[in-house]
Amino acid sequence: MVDLEQYLPILIFLFVAAGLSALFVFLPMGVSRLTGAHKPDAEKLSEYECGFPAFEEPRSQFDVKFYLVAISFLLFDLEASFLFPWAVSLEYTGWTGWIAMVIFLGILAVGLAYEWKMGALDWQ
Q: Side chain identity at 114, as an amino acid letter? A: Y
Q: How far is CA 5 from CA 1, 13, 49, 121, in A?
A: 12, 14, 52, 58
CATH of domain 60-124: 1.20.58.1610
Report yes or no on whether pTM surpasses 0.95. no
pLDDT at 27: 93
pLDDT value at 124 more than 70? no
Tens digit of each residue's pLDDT (9 = 90 or more) over 35-80:
876 677 777 777 666 656 666 676 777 667 777 778 888 888 888 8
DSSP assignment of 23-46, as one string? HHHHHHHHHHHHHTTT---TTTTS
CA angle 104, 107, 112 (to 5 degrees): 125
